[in-house]
Structure 1
């Protein structure tokens, strides 16, 4: 992990109730695109590592017999379970554990997903554990917003959220170094995920970009939730200054959109896949 940061339970403390509202969704249809690429047919099991409130777990669950959402934050899992009950998704099991605890007695899986969560883990250890948990021919999937998407064809109908100014306000309260739990922020995977997965024994299996670009209308409440959904501006980091920060954030947003509404384009979703070879063997789920 990057120097100066170690995982601790406060990483997203207080963020769970804000996550689903604050974060933009993945591209509509990303689940169908993944199902088509992998030939998912309602059989087998899914493991979603670092699942948060089920952002990926819930839309993918219908393509499997069972889905397991794994996260160390119990509040995130409780929010995921609440959303599953609301949406009538009954085949999800929620497990409190870190990725480093795998295989954790969970058994074998057809597909294991990481939705912008792999960079928080001990990468080589976790990749090796996942390889051992996948069925022959199974797939590890990394899902993320597409970086540097092409410019949108149409202008926005409302002001864009002032994310740069929000970041400046966060730094005013928390200092210039981006916070993460009791340490500083982990910045991606050095060298990229490909080298880690190849080193563990995976073979590249493809890449898809699911287009989006739809306009999302965002309110002041949505953007306050966005700020509190992030590890580097989670509510607990502000201590007794939290009410002051929220007051100043709402004032800032009010200046840029007097009617309280913003707009932004939903970014495309990038899906990358790595396959476990049918002859690969790095241990079974019971070996570790």
Structure 2
């Protein structure tokens, strides 16, 4: 197993699980972006690393046109099914600007850490109009946070789920054809400043959100992750899913869980 370099299998098979496995972004996120940037329905949005379009579709009504790009063909296929009226393009961020034109806003949601960040920041900056902005959405949508605050139902047994993934895939986090022993890179602020951006202005939304989730939704959330994407299990995929459901049912026989989700952070950078 090699250390990680991007390859097209990173999210192979995961896209179809996003709809059930990821908690939707709240409407308050779009409202906060609109108010912070003074959006009025004009201009264009570029959503980079758009996945199946979860953020793109939410923000698109704030603009005259929206474009979503993603390196995974399965993600783009799901996005086209969800919103055929948006322009979706199978494209690595490193290949921008790709003759896509100029944009009022470039958005990155749970995606920038997978990219050659210095290169992407350098290439996206001149794609923004003078009054434009880059927004980075920091969120955890596949699972909730540890909290001592009461919940209406038991929380999912995430420690047991993670132990099961390690039993099947090994102790080091998997990612595509490689591994991520130290996780993904940090230091985003330094990357942005090196590229000539100023900021950030940070906004927080979604405080105290609680979601009730089913067994099927927890299973889908596991398969929506790069570290446990379906392709990683090979011919043991069905066995893993059966064991995963057994772990969930042992914890909560009726398969109903609740989780409290972290606030969503919006970092606004100006070119």
TM-score of the superposition, structure 1-length normalised?
0.88
Aligned residue in 2 for 1:283: none
**Cα shift at 1:164:** 1.4
Unaligned runs of 5+ in 1: 277-288
Quote the residue 1:112 is aligned against. 106
* 1:45 aligned residue: 44
State yes or no: 1:252 paired with 2:238: no
Q: How many residues align?
A: 267
**Alignment correspondent of 1:208:** 203
| 1:205 shift after superposition | 4.4
Among 181, 185, 188, the alignment partner of 2:184 is 188
Q: 1:153, CA displacement in angstroms?
A: 8.5
Q: 1:142 to 1:224 in 2, by over 3 A?
A: same
In the TM superposition, residue 240 of structure 1 has moved relative to its aligned partner by 0.5
Which of 165, 168, 175 is matched with 2:163 structurally? 168
- The one of 257, 261, 268 equivalent to 2:263 is 268
Mapped to 1, the partners of 2:240 and 2:254 lie a distance apart of 21
Q: What is the aligned partner in structure 2 of residue 24 from structure 1?
A: 23
- Equivalence for 2:63: 64
Gaps of 5+ in 2: none
d(CA) in 2 for partners of 1:201, 1:82 = 37
Within the candidate set 128, 138, 155, 1:134 is matched to 128
Residue 150 to residue 244, structure 1, CA distance change in 2 (3 Å): closer
Q: Is the 8 A contact 1:26 1:266 kept in 2?
A: no
Q: Is the 8 A contact 1:28 1:212 kept in 2?
A: no
CA distance in 1, matches of 2:146, 2:244: 28
Could you tell me how far 1:154 is from its partner in structure 2? 4.8
- Retained in 2: the 8 A contact 1:52–1:76? yes
d(CA) in 1 for partners of 2:202 and 2:25? 16
Q: CA RMSD in A?
A: 1.9
Cα deviation code 1:8-41 (max 9, x no counterpart)? 1100000010012101223441011011000011
SS in 2 for 1:29: helix
Deviation at 1:78, TM superposition (A): 1.4
- Distance, in Å, in 2 between the alignment partners of 1:150 and 1:161 is 11
Distance 1:6 1:222 in 2: 30
Partner of 1:145: 139
Give the CA deviation at 1:189: 2.9
Are residues 26 and 267 of structure 1, via their aligned partners in 2, closer, same or farther at CA, if it must alter by over 3 Å? farther
**Whole-angstrom distance in 1 between the partners of 2:197 and 2:60:** 24
Is the counterpart of residue 74 in structure 1 residue 69 in structure 2? Answer: no
Structure 1 SS opposite 2:69: strand
For the residues of structure 2 that align with 1:260 and 1:27, how far apart are their CA atoms? 24
Q: Distance in 1 between matches of 2:138 and 2:267?
A: 9
In 2: Cα distance, 1:17 partner to 1:32 partner = 28
Shift of 1:200: 0.4
Using the alignment, how far apart are the partners of 2:36 and 2:100 within structure 1?
25
